[in-house]
Amino acid sequence: MEKNDVTRPINTILDGTNYITWAHQMRSFLIGRKLWRIVTGDITKPIKPTPPMKNTGNTVNTSDVLIHETTTEDIKYIKRFEDWDIKNHQMITWLGIAHYYQLHSTLISLNQEVGQSVNEYLATLQPI
């Protein structure tokens, strides 16, 4: 895959008849952006481990107070969650931008021809 292929948006419109072509282009793009493992589920949203709690032992007219100690597991979780969130945001943003680009390109190419009825023209727009 060329470096230009990675930055170029997917220009195949998924219309039900071209799934294989579209899927190949989408997969290549996501692999190039290192987002494919999120799609396959190899990288999942991290689940925060149950934090260790301890009782302070002070029971003077107060309910039991539990203190949460920040552990290395918490720090690792926060880092993994931030990494996952950044990649997830990148993918959602890219998909939105690609969708708008594709819609814009499609609408630009569709013009009502001279002599074409409004109903015929709208019929060409309806699948969009």
What sign does the dihedral 12-14-15-16 (CA atoms) show?
positive
Q: Are 34 and 1 in contact (CB under 8 A)?
A: no
Output the CA–CA distances (angstroms, integers) from residue 107 to 47, 96, 104, 110, in the order listed: 43, 17, 5, 5
Is 116 a domain residue? no
User: What integer is the mean pLDDT of 16-26?
Assistant: 81
Is 43 a domain residue? yes
Is 128 a domain residue? no
Query: 96: how many CB neighbours lie within 10 A of its CB?
Result: 10
Q: Which residues contact 51 (CB under 8 A, 6 or more apart)?
A: 68, 69, 71, 74
Q: Which residues contact 37 (CB under 8 A, 6 or more apart)?
A: 43
Is 31 a domain residue? yes
Query: Of the given ranges (15-19, 87-91, 99-103), which has the lowest mean pLDDT?
Result: 99-103
Is 124 a domain residue? no
SS3 of 66, please?
strand
Q: What is the pTM of this model?
A: 0.35
What confidence tier does 62 reach under pLDDT thresholds 50, 70, 90? very low
Question: Across the chain, what does the average pLDDT equal?
Answer: 74
Is 114 a domain residue? no
Domain containing 69 equals: 3-57+64-109
SS3 of 71, please?
coil
Q: Per the structure, how many domains does the chain have?
A: 1
Is 115 a domain residue? no
Is 102 a domain residue? yes
